Amino acid sequence: MFQNNPLLIQLKKKLKIQNNFVEGIVKRKERGFGFLEINQQKSYFISPVQMKKVMHGDRIIATICNYKEREFANPKKLIEPFLNRFVGRIYKKNNFISIIPDNPFLNEVIPCNNINNVKYVFQDGDWAVAKMCSHPLRDNRNFCAEIIDFIVKANDQYAPWWVTLSRHNLEREAPNIDLGEMINENLKRKDLADLDFITIDNITTEDMDDALYVQELPNGNLKLTVAIADPTSYVPEGSQLDIVAAQRGFTNYLPGFNIPMLPRQLSDDICSLRPHIRRPVLACSVIITNEGKLLDINFFSAWIKSKAKLAYNEVSDWLENIGTWQPMNINIANQIRLLYRLCLIRIKWRKNYALIFQDRPDYKFLIGNRGEILEIISEKRRIANHIVEESMIVANICAGKILCEKLGFGIYNVHSGFDLANIEQAVAVLATHGIVVDAKTIATLEGFRSLRRQLDNQPTQFLNHRLRRFQSFAEISTKPGPHFGLGIENYATWTSPMRKFSDMVNHRLLKAIILGNKVACPDSTLIIKISERKRLNRMAEKDIGDWLYASYLSKFADTNHKFITEIIYLSRKGMRVKLLDNGAIAFIPYSFIHMVRDELICNQEHGTLKVKGKILYRVTDVINVMIDKVCLDTRVIVARPII
């Protein structure tokens, strides 16, 4: 009866339905409608009715239709759901259980259909892990989730930690595996127990994994011996603990506490280089000339007995002639002085022949017994930190060189400088600032080093910041390769084997060199696994930090408290700034910057914000702000400039 209906025919003509399909990502807006983003330049409107079929972040295929000269997207097929496994808060009403995903872009209340399968009586607001079991585009049913596990009760003080670890499917505790006796590796260990090795760490550190000893040679050169704790002497390759360590990849350092890669009994006791206790180590000795060159590199296994556990701040105070702390005897004092001298020599060498990062403070969360945030403090890296840092860099350069020469492989930290696909853009940006270079030169290690030294001499970090997006990411590789960021030809870490599985692997390779054994190159799947775990750990640390920052700064919302910040990002929506006192990231919407939105011109490529042709702000500018509000549910801190 509708076949020849004139109204229907007229409507079809208006819609001009086309049979073309497009694929893109769904982006939801606050008012219920959304957009299907095809790329940075093209998107299609999705009506509120059609948005009920999809979620923010879904990758879908849609048909495009025209109505009144406007293009609309109608979702047709799900390619990849945004939600699969996720965490959220329980919504309980009239004994019906739903879950609200913990995501700033989602506000859906998703019904749950298997609540009885989890042996826990959920209350409103509790945290849980769930997975999507139905999607309108895939199953022709409404959204529905399945509860997998209980995380923590509502408003638990430790929710930021447990929820975030569950979100990224990371472990909550150290491995619980019994340890065996020390392995017989047929290594002839040198007895260095009489030498004055010392450790320098944070005062609360228990897993001391490096000890240092330095002696002055008759010709004035310094001979440094770096002794590293040897967990591979207790963890057989292929054992249950080795498999667990490979899976974890790293000790997960989170605000307030850490979750070890190895059992605490091993990292904090059996292998920890505690003072006055005989410990097995893998060691490297190297002669450092007065010009900073490295000679006569030698790796060997040994026994040592640390003579002192020293703290960064106390050693720094003593070297700077402040405070009351004194070394316990003249031998320890002599070690500190020699290490300080070695540090200055190597810093000078790296400035001339490699690269040195700009010093940035570390931010430390002081957590109370109930998980509350007492304070967030900024800790500057002092001279004792640099002493240990320079010693570890020397040791890792030595490992990179020996592994390359003896095996031709290992686990290397590599960084290739500028991404070759973007290098011409970097050259163009430099030219606009009066620095003329060619792509071929800055693609080499020496050319990159030379450029970085020029950039470090600029009055601000603005140009450095602009060039950062043209650079490649650091990665790990089994093949030797340069690390442009450090300005070094080879760099293979082995100095943190109780915290990094890749360092355990390099320990075993170095031991094979010492014993003269043949050994296979690490499998590429291991590299992928370690890289992915590193990414997850960083995401977890950031997520917990964002949560704690929001909680801590909420008390400053709508007050006159002034914060000094640095602009780190500009976009069409506003600016992101970093609070220099504590490291938090805040957002400044454009409505707080200038009353007339159309007069604001944001140039993300140049990192500038202009009003009527005049630069108002640019990336790296330091400005004062007040906290306007804090959204605890989304962990967003909104700031307002003080003009």
Predicted confidence at residue 306, as pLDDT, reads 97
Give the pLDDT confidence score for residue 93 in this predicted structure.
86
CATH 2.40.50.140 range(s) for the chain read 6-80, 557-641
Burial level of 67, CB count in 10 A (0-12/13-18/19+)?
Answer: middle
Q: Strand, coil or helix: what is 247?
A: helix
Point out which residues pair with 618 in neighbouring strands: 608
Per-residue CA distances from 169 to 36, 161, 237, 443 (Å) = 30, 12, 25, 39
Alpha-carbon distance of 18 to 63, in angstroms, equals 7
Q: What confidence score (pLDDT) does residue 603 get?
A: 84
Would you say 255 and 365 are in contact if contact means Cβ atoms under 8 Å apart?
Answer: yes
What whole-number distance in Å separates Cα of residue 545 and Cα of residue 293? 40
Identify the burial level of 469 via C-beta atoms within 10 angstroms of its C-beta, where 0-12 means exposed, 13-18 middle and 19 or more buried. middle
pLDDT for the residue numbered 7 = 58
- Superfamily of structural domain 557-641: Nucleic acid-binding proteins (2.40.50.140)
The pLDDT assigned to 35 comes to: 93
DSSP sequence for 72-94:
EEEEEEEEE-S-SEEEEEEEEET
- The catalytic site residues sit at 201, 207, 209-210, 312, 499
Alpha carbon separation from 250 to 83, 178, 518, 523 (Å, rounded)? 27, 19, 27, 18
Q: Does domain 6-80 have CATH number 3.30.2010.10?
A: no
Packing angle between helix 312-319 and helix 330-353, nearest 10 degrees? 90
Pairing, β 198-201 against β 308-311: parallel
**Contact predicate 268/208, CB 8 Å:** no
Q: Which residues pair with 88 in a beta bridge?
A: 101, 128
Distance CA 574, CA 591 (A): 8
pLDDT-above-70 percentage for the chain: 97
pLDDT at 131: 93
Nearest to 244 by CA among 171, 185, 180: 171
CB–CB of 286/398 below 8 Å? Answer: yes
The gap from C-alpha 109 to its chain's centroid, in whole angstroms, comes to 31
Pair 512, 246: CB distance under 8 Å: no
Which regions of the chain are under pLDDT 50? Answer: 1-2, 11-18
CATH T-level assignment (fold) for domain 85-156? OB fold (Dihydrolipoamide Acetyltransferase, E2P) (2.40.50)
Q: What is the dihedral of CA 395, 400, 401, 403, to 10 degrees?
A: 120
What would the pLDDT profile of 63-96 be if each residue is shown by its tens digit? Answer: 998 877 788 999 999 999 999 999 999 999 888 8
**Could you tell me if 628 and 554 are in contact, meaning their C-beta atoms sit under 8 angstroms apart?**
no
Secondary structure class of 96 (helix, strand, coil): strand
Domain ranges in the chain with CATH number 2.40.50.640: 85-156
What is the reported pLDDT for 1? Answer: 47
Which residues have a Cβ under 8 Å from the Cβ of 247 and sit 6 or more positions away? 529, 533
Q: Report the pLDDT value the prediction gives residue 14, as an integer from 0 to 100.
A: 46
Q: How far apart are the C-alpha atoms of 120 and 112, rounded to whole Å?
A: 14
Identify whether the C-beta of residue 302 lies closer than 8 Å to the C-beta of residue 189. Answer: yes
The phi-psi region of residue 556 (left if phi > 0; otherwise alpha if psi is between -120 and 50; otherwise beta) is alpha
For the chain, the C-alpha Rg in angstroms (whole number) is 29
DSSP-derived secondary structure for 11-39? HHHHHT----EEEEEEEE-TTS-EEEE-S
Who contacts 199 (Cβ-Cβ below 8 Å, separation ≥6)? Answer: 208, 210, 211, 212, 273, 275, 306, 308, 309, 310
Q: Are the C-beta atoms of residues 313 and 319 closer than 8 Å to each other?
A: no
Both structure tokens of 151: 């995380």
